[in-house]
Structure 1
Amino acid sequence: MSDPLPRRFSVHSETAAEPGAGAQGERRLGLVRGRRIRPVPLRIILPNLVTLLALSMGLTGIRFAVEGQFQIAVLVVIIAAILDGLDGRLARALRGTSRFGAELDSLADFVDFGVAPALILYMWNLHQVKSLGWFAALVFAIACALRLARFNVSLDDPNPPAWEGHFFTGMPAPAGAVLALLPLYLNFSFLALAPTRALAPFEIGYVLFIAFLMASRIPHFSVKKIGRIPREYVIVVLFAIAAVVLLLATFPMEMLACLSLGYLATIPFAVLKYKAFAASASAAGGDKAA
Structure 2
Amino acid sequence: MQPPIRRPLRRKPGGLPLRAVAPNAVTALALCSGLSGIRFAISGHWELAVVMVLVAGVLDGLDGRVARMLHGESRFGAELDSLSDAISFGVSPALILYLWSLHTLPRFGWMATLVLAVFCALRLARFNAHIDADDQPHKSAGFLTGVPAPAGAALALLPLFLWFVTEEPLLRDPYLIAPWTIMVALLMVSSLATFSWGSMKLRPNIRFEAIAIVVAVGAAAVSAPWQTAAVAGIAYLVSMPFSVASYARIKRLRAAATPSTPILPPSA
Q: TM-score, normalised by structure 2?
A: 0.88
Amino acid at match of 2:179: G
Q: 2:233 and 2:80 mapped to 1: Cα distance? A: 27
2:255 aligned to 282, 286, 289, which one?
Answer: 282
Return 5+ residue gaps in structure 1 as ranges.
1-18, 31-35
Match of 2:47 in 1: 71
Match of 1:258 in 2: 231
Do 1:167 and 1:274's aligned partners in 2 also have CA atoms closer than 8 Å? yes
Do 1:163 and 1:277's aligned partners in 2 also have CA atoms closer than 8 Å? no
The question of 1:193 aligning with 2:168 is answered yes
1:268 aligned to 241, 248, 253, which one?
Answer: 241
Match of 1:244 in 2: 217
1:225 aligned to 199, 203, 222, which one?
Answer: 199
Do 1:125 and 1:195's aligned partners in 2 also have CA atoms closer than 8 Å? no
The question of 1:146 aligning with 2:122 is answered yes
Deviation per residue, 1:103-162 (Å, 9 max, x gap): 110000000000000000000001111111110000001110111011111212135458
1:178 aligned to 154, 159, 163, which one?
Answer: 154
Do 1:80 and 1:112's aligned partners in 2 also have CA atoms closer than 8 Å? yes
SS at match of 2:257: helix
- Report deviation, 1:286: 7.9
Match of 1:113 in 2: 89
2:69 aligned to 50, 72, 93, which one?
Answer: 93
Superposed CA RMSD? 2.5
Question: 258-267 vs 279-288, which deviates more?
Answer: 279-288
Do 1:167 and 1:219's aligned partners in 2 also have CA atoms closer than 8 Å? yes
Distance 1:89 1:76, change over 3 A: same
Return 5+ residue gaps in structure 2 as ranges.
262-268
Match of 1:207 in 2: 181
- Report deviation, 1:166: 1.2
Amino acid at match of 1:193: E
- Report deviation, 1:41: 3.4
Q: 1:93 and 1:162 mapped to 2: Cα distance? A: 25
Deviating above 6 A after TM superposition, structure 1's stretches of 4 or more consecutive aligned residues are none
Give the share of equivalent positions with the same residue, in percent.
43
Match of 2:266 in 1: none
Amino acid at match of 1:169: T
Q: 1:133 and 1:87 mapped to 2: Cα distance? A: 33
Distance 1:196 1:281, change over 3 A: closer
Q: 1:226 and 1:42 mapped to 2: Cα distance? A: 32
- Is the radius of gyration larger for structure 1 or structure 2? 1
Q: How many pairs align?
A: 258
Do 2:141 and 2:247's aligned partners in 1 also have CA atoms closer than 8 Å? no
Q: 1:63 and 1:165 mapped to 2: Cα distance? A: 40
Match of 1:11 in 2: none
